[in-house]
A = this chain, B = another copy of it.
Amino acid sequence: MLVLVTYDVNTETEAGKARLRKIAKQCVNYGQRVQNSVFECMLDPTQYRLLKGILSEIMSENDSIRLYNLGDKASARIETLGKSKSYNPVDDFLSI
């Protein structure tokens, strides 16, 4: 399933920037960074729970993480305007 991870952190502090880097490092294990604090991750239910646990430990209480489970047919429901760094999250994964 494709899970969207959005992360709200105060990046005006060095600590916040460091946490964002750590969050990014975890998320890109499973997918890609599509915007500064938005990641698309391909996860099974076990990986989902694992990632959620790790992110909970990295973040601080004033940060906010939102996880959106887009299911298995997500790519048909994603549109981008302007600069887009991503590839097609579902099909391109399957073609590896």
Considering only CB atoms, which chain B residue lies closest to A78 in the complex?
B68
Say how many copies of this protein the assembly contains.
2
Q: Does A94 contact B (CB under 8 A)?
A: no
Does A45 sit at the interface, judged by CB under 8 A?
no
CB within 8 Å for A85 and B66 given contacts A6-B6, A8-B35, A38-B8: no
Chain B residue nearest in CB terms to A60: B82
Which chain B residues lie closer than 8 Å to A34 at the CB level? 6, 64, 66
**Cα separation A35 to B8 with both chains bound (whole Å):** 6
Q: Give the residue of B65, B70, B78, B84 whose beta carbon is less than 8 angstroms from that of A82.
A: B65
A residues in contact (CB < 8 Å) with B = 4, 6-8, 34-38, 52, 55-56, 59-71, 74, 77-85
